[in-house]
Structure 1
Amino acid sequence: MKIRFLLSLLFLVVCQQKAICQQKTKEASTHESIKLETDNIFNKLVDIRRDFHENPELAGNEIHTQKKLKQYLLDLGLEVETNIYGYGIIGILKGGKNGKKIAWRAEMDALPNDLPDNVDFKSKIKGAQHGCGHDVHMTIALGIAEVLAKNKNSLHGTVYFIFQPEEETFVGAKNMINNGLLSKINPDEIYALHVTALPAGQILVKPNEMFAYQRRIQIKLKDELTKEQAKELTKKIYSLLSRAETGSKPWEIQNMSDPKIGLANPNTAYKNYLIMDENFKIYSKNNELFLEAYLYETNSSNLVTIIPKIKQVIEASDYKELLLSVSFTQENPTVMNNKKLTDTAVKTLNTIYGKNCVSTDYGQFPFFNDDFTYFQQKIPGTYFFLGGSNIEKGIIAMNHAPNFRVDEECMKAGVKNFSSLILERLK
């Protein structure tokens, strides 16, 4: 009897192991299929991205961009919603099985500039250019939508593709939410990415803050200082507030991909700093003198000390009686990744595509921010950096810089990895 029981138990264990192996084989086959489907649509995605790049539209004017997105999504068989805010558009992919609701966000607007752009598909619109990578972001989102649409019957749940206008002006996400977006779609999780000057295809992420906290400080005084006196005062403020790790230069963002001091190194130069404009904007208006500058702080608890420190400098100077006010005139929230969701996403991608698929971000990027943070305030969300540079090809994906270029191969990494992530997270 005992032997029969042990044999039955052994049989159950063997069956269990067999089922686990079959499930793993099935999952591996699914992700291999995603990779192949990504490769198959790559050339089409390149054409779409270049079309976006040639026809950029500034914040609040994403008319033709919306039309192109809408047609592409409809052709995939997705439901489309445009009555949200501005020229925003939502593609809705309903899977064949019950499951979660997951959103993916991509920005639509271009930058207002005419910086040098060393590509054959330059902007045809004077004063507008996709110099931040939003053309790439939209294309990756369309690629994910196409890959997942081809697996619609096996999908658990619903995917919402949010194409957001007016990110460069930092109002699009907030206005979409204020106009009732989340009452219409109410996702459980939300994800986004930003292409930047890391090696093409490298994914970098961390829990909590991805960027430093950006503030614009304004000091208002009676207009009784000479230009030289005002400059001398701003130098004292700059010297008091500025902070960086010994030997580090976090303002030199061209080193963000450096293996020794970049974001992916535990000893990165891009942590524990407060950097600010050394040259303040100084101007007079209505008998008042204004001193203004941007600053970037990695530690949120230090933000409350900034205004008191500036007041101390002025009160210790000869201009104490001239001080009218010190205030933040801009204090946008920063991107804040949900820890549990981010850790799970990293584990999921590294399990599917190898332990080096996702790199850990050990710092906080200065000078930039993203209004994706407003979505994260309402929904658990994770925001990734995706490398777009290829030094051997002379391609540097440094956002908002002259000759910003992207190695389009990075779009494969974006579509493949995040299609797989969403598929797994839906279950």
Structure 2
Amino acid sequence: MGQRIAVLGAGPMGLAVAYQLARDGHQPIVFEADDRVGGMTAAFDFSGLSIERYYHFHCISDHAFLTVLDELGLADRMRWVETKMGYWYQNRLQPWGNPVALLKFRGLSLVAKFRYGLHAFLCTKRNDWRPLDNVEAKGWIRRWVGAEAWEVLWRRLFDYKFYDYTDNLSAAWIWSRIRRIGRSRYSLFREKLGYLDGGSETLLQAIKNDIETRGGEIRLKSPVSRVVIENKQVQGVEVNGQVERFDKVISTIPLPYVPRIIPDLPDDILQRFQALKNVAVVCVIAKLRKPLTENFWLNTNDPDMDIPGLVEYTNLRPLDQHIVYVPFYVPGEHPKFAEPDQVFLDKVQRYLKKINPELLDEDFIELRASRYRYAQPICDPGYLDRLPPVSLPVKGLWVADTSYYYPEDRGISESIDFGRKMALDASK
């Protein structure tokens, strides 16, 4: 007889949990506060264009993601594209992302180029992250690449992604980001990234349908206000003032919400959740009449731009209009996060026109901003050791979010993999 299991959150991890549970004969009921599934992968109507609120791409190493596509009969919807990277530095757009581009890069000495290239190459070859786990990232990078390459190629990325947290980040966490992009290359000079025909919405709806077909439920606009615990055992969840009974509860919502909805956890566990730090994001999406550049990813180092880079999405996934994502990462408590959307929209229009002076006001069809308070966990040295266990000291309760597949960065494939494993553990 299958168990009745509550799943909190309908992002990729929560959907993966419910997908696995339903396939194993259980009855998952997913509770989602939003009016749609997907979390950070959810799409919205951008004046007739269905597009994700936050950009996503896939690498050839995204095995868990590709496995689900196979299971759902979606493998033929996957598209692989040779993409390009660029670097905006000293008011100049330069190629980036391969050895020739590095050698030709203007504004960096030959020694600095060699040290930077050697570090990146060795990161892609490294498999064991444990020796880097307790190493501080900023000092680690500076020791490898030197002060010059740090200043030109790394500092602003740290400053405009992590702000006050830049001095205490895990080297293992930063290494995993370098490795993922490095391993997306199918040769030393070529990068290959993927997208799903129809975007992430294709996968989200297929998983949702599979869950429902197998007897599971997904309840939108249904935030859980409390997980009910008695005698160190889960009893159910409270939604809209009503308590529903469940055999087990699996939470995939951002960890900062956990103390709020599970206040009856032991004090030491609550303190560990409360100590975690996160960065927010304001992500501006611009719809243009003409391309900005020929690059998918563009790093930026410009004193007039408070961003580490931008993504020209239509250089990966072709669309009728040109789409550019410009993320402003900022701590949620920072005054900048409280600024109105128009401040960010105006900045983006100014930045894009500086990068491509041929862009005129009339080339901007529309700009839109999306905000996510807990977009990026801050992973300091030894991060994983300080997280509470996934299976908490409450019978029938599991808690995780994207933090738990540290040192890997947030990704759809990683969320699917972790979610399915968590479901298998909970099924025992």
TM-score (norm 1): 0.30
Bigger Cα Rg:
1
Q: Compare the two structures and name the one with the higher strand fraction.
A: 2
TM-score (norm 2): 0.30
